Structure 1
Amino acid sequence: MVPLLWLMLVPFAGWAGLRLAGWEPKFVWSQLVSFTPYAAAASVLPLVVALLIRNGPLVVAALLVTGSFAVAVLPRAVPGGNAEAGGPVLRVLAVNLLHSSVPPEDLVAVVERDRPDVLHLLEFTSLMRKRVGELGLGRLLPYEVVLPGEDSEGAAIYARYPLRPSDTRIAAPSFAKSPRHLPALLTLPGGREVELVAVHACAPSEGWRTACWASSIRALPPAGGRLRVLAGDFNATLDHAVLRDLIATGYRDAADVTGKGLSMTWPYYQQPRLFPKVAIDHVLADGRIAVRGFQTLRMPRTDHRATLTELALP
């Protein structure tokens, strides 16, 4: 029994060690590390058995492993401190449309119901643009900046307030058929400006796509200077070092701040109910911005949950 428990503990120890060290080997690990919350939960089992059989060395080792996971995972389930901000409130809705598979009428209905000030749309096709226009999206959010593209390449930002393309340059992946980020500048009543970036990083697949994934996240602008909000599909979780490095420049993850960092967002469509989900859709706000609320929303015919965030500017 004891040798078997030691063998069970080894992979958990290796997982926790890699996660805390921040070293991310290519290929399988860039995908596997997304499931760290599940590994953390499973690591409790060897600890419980070690306690039951009263094996001291094994208890200590299991406690170290489970504790390492807890340090990495539990803080995102606890609300954190917020910035002091009494400025304009901004509601940001971000949706990955899965090649624009979401019925346009459902998308417009969500905008009517939840009344966002800003709408980020990813995998946004020209046909979807035409259909939501016919259904009155422009009446609800009259300003738009669109990045033309089909399938996964297109993106758009719609807004209640004046919006224009940003001068921020974000390097596009050099691979064909890769998603791209879309920056825009929003001018609020009174003249305040905030930069918005509709984020769509490459997926951390095997082979050349791994390089596309990491570089597409590193290409995002660091915090500092003008106020900035990044929202969309990062294809990365808080267990990926490349995303934590971006946050460390001065952003705060809205789900993490509100204690909802374990709200999973993908994959939901056409997946078994018990298939493990991961949190790859994020809203990163400049640290000077207060996060008033965060929630995920179910959207039909897409594998992503939408995110709806309420922010208060300084």
Structure 2
Amino acid sequence: MVVEGEVRARRGWVTFLLALVVLALACVAALRFVGFDGNWYTLAPLSLTPYVAPLAVLVAVLALVLRRWTLGVLALVVAGAVAVLVVPRFSAVEQRAVQGRTLRVLASNLYVGSADPREIVELVRSNQVDVLNLVELTPDALRRLDQAGLFTLLPYRVVHTDPGVEGSGIVSRFPLTETQLTGESAAKQPGARADLGDGVVIELVAVHPISPDVDSRRWEREMKDLSAAEGEHGIRILAGDFNATLDHAAFRTVLARGYLDAAQERGKSLTPTWHTAAPLVALDHVVVDRRAAVRDFRVFKVPGSDHRAIYAEIQLP
């Protein structure tokens, strides 16, 4: 009887642990479908939403092998629901038939200025980049980028450096006029109008809202300050470290008001950009006015940075 009691106790614990995992996965899926970001403790697991489906499948298989039929079925339901959201991200979206100029945009988080400036300059050169957005731009990083020849390739700049994480800048092949295109933010998020010639002017923002682990409420406000409805402005491109993924409602709010995520358009939105040591999530984005078309999107490792650089080729209307 003692042995039988121990077996029942172990089975009970196994069932409890499986139920706990299924419940946690179901909660993440529910938050995602409801569109509730909450605070840091919900934002962090929401960023891992794409991993819920395969993990739920593994839990379902284990539960079914152990004859926990109800838990197995529930785990499969969670996996299927999340797969509906995630699977389409593997496919590129047909783009608008636009015939305007092509613009090549690169964005990089310099990790408090620690990124290798020579690698940044080489990415600009080899990809014929027209616009480079830099965040966590320190005075020393700016000096080293200058020494590496960045401003020979891209002579125009709107930069606001900071010794910490709050500096940002826009560097361009085309003349820039600084303008305020965001609300008030903790970090500098410079905006500029770039004159491409022949009467073509685009609006650019170097995006870097506060990290939600510092202040999730302010992060949400700063994200929503990036929103602007289609037609209320010229062709606008937002690029940088959004501290957000496609599974955060605040980021989807930005997209819903007239923008496209370049990675999603090319079927590459599951390509992680952070952390480089063990990349898990895509926090960096090139967000493009939906009147334009995204022809290419790529991700590059940058030595010295904890983020990968992101590149998009955009055709303007």
Q: TM-score, normalised by structure 2?
A: 0.88
Quick check: 2:15–2:68 contact (8 Å CA) kept in 1? no
The separation in 1 between residues aligned to 2:73 and 2:116, in whole angstroms, is 53
Aligned-partner SS, 1:61: helix
SS of residue paired to 1:295: strand
1:210 aligns with 2:210: no
State the alpha-carbon separation in 2 of the partners of residues 55 and 30 from structure 1. 30
Deviation sequence 1:209-263 (CA, Å, 0-9, x none)? 1122111211114242311110000000111111011111111101111000100
**Equivalent of residue 166 in structure 1, options 148, 156, 179:** 179
Query: Which of 286, 308, 317 does residue 305 from structure 1 map onto?
Result: 308
The residue aligned with 1:26 is 39
Q: Which moved more, 1:54-63 or 1:292-301?
A: 54-63
C-alpha separation in 2, matches of 1:28 and 1:81: 36
Give the direction of change, closer, same or farther, for the CA distance of 1:128–1:11 in structure 2 (3 Å limit). Answer: closer
Letter in 2 for 1:94: A
- Confirm or deny: 8 A CA contact 1:90 1:311 kept in the other structure: yes
Q: Which residue of 2 aligns with 1:282?
A: 285
Q: CA deviation at 1:166?
A: 2.2
Gaps of 5+ in 1: none
Asked if the contact 1:166–1:184 (Cα under 8 Å) also holds between the matched residues in 2, the reply is yes
Give the letter aligned to residue 253 of structure 1.
Answer: D
Equivalent AA in structure 1 for residue 190 of structure 2: L
CA–CA distance in structure 1, aligned partners of residues 150 and 219 of structure 2: 32
Distance 1:110 1:20 in 2: 38
Look up the equivalent residue of 2:309 and give its one-letter code.
A
Q: Is 2:227–2:257's contact at 8 Å kept on the other side of the alignment? A: no
Rounded Cα–Cα distance in structure 1 between residues aligned with 2:147 and 2:21: 58
| Residue 96 of structure 1: aligned partner | 109
Equivalent of 2:237, from 212, 217, 229?
A: 229
- Taking the aligned partners of 1:267 and 1:304, their CA distance within structure 2 comes to 6
Conservation of the 8 A alpha-carbon contact between 1:141 and 1:158: yes
- Show the counterpart of 1:141: 154
1:156 CA displacement = 1.1
Post-superposition offset of 1:7: 4.4
Match of 2:54 in 1: 41
Counterpart-to-counterpart distance in 1, 2:145 and 2:27: 49
Q: Matches of residues 6-17 of structure 1 in structure 2 within 5 Å? A: 6-17=19-30
Query: Which has the higher mean CA deviation after the structures are superposed, 38-47 or 112-121?
Result: 38-47
1:75-103 per-residue CA deviation (whole Å, 9 max, x = no partner) reads 22221221221110000000111111123
Aligned equivalents of 1:204 and 1:7: distance in 2? 26
Letter paired with 1:172? E
Q: Percent identity?
A: 40
Within 2, Cα distance between the matches of 1:81 and 1:220?
Answer: 25
Question: 2:105 touches 2:132 (CA, 8 Å); kept in 1?
Answer: yes
The SS at the match of 1:93 is strand
Q: Which amino acid aligns with 2:187?
A: P
Aligned to 1:113: 126
Deviation string 1:183-206 (CA, Å, 9 cap, x unpaired) is 111111312111011101111105
Residue type at the aligned position of 1:285: V
Instruction: Say whether the 8 Å CA contact 1:99–1:124 is kept in structure 2.
Output: yes
For residues 68-83 of structure 1, the aligned pairs below 5 Å read: 68-83=81-96
Instruction: Name the CA distance, whole Å, in 1 between partners of 2:43 and 2:281.
Output: 13
| Cα pair distance change 1:55/1:210, threshold 3 Å | closer
CA contact (8 A) 1:142 1:159 kept: yes
- For 2:46 and 2:158, how far apart are their aligned partners in 1? 34
> For 1:276 and 1:121, how far apart are their aligned partners in 2?
20
Matched residue count: 302
How many Å separate the matches in 2 of 1:57 and 1:105?
56
Question: 2:95 & 2:208 partners in 1: Cα distance?
Answer: 26
Native 8 Å contact 2:227 2:253 kept in 1: no
Match in the other structure for 2:298: 295
2:208/2:243 contact within 8 Å kept: yes
Whichever of the two has the greater Rg, that structure is 2
Query: Distance in 1 between the 2:68 and 2:161 partners?
Result: 62
Take 1:56 and 1:149, find their aligned partners in 2: how far apart are those partners? 57
Equivalent pair of 2:246/2:252 in contact (CA under 8 Å): yes
**TM-score, with structure 1 as normaliser:** 0.89
2: CA distance between counterparts of 1:205 and 1:61? 31
For residues 60-75 of structure 1, the aligned pairs below 5 Å read 60-75=73-88
Separation in structure 2 between the aligned mates of residue 74 and residue 141 of structure 1, nearest angstrom: 38
Q: CA deviation at 1:171?
A: 1.9
Which residue number corresponds to residue 246 of structure 1?
254
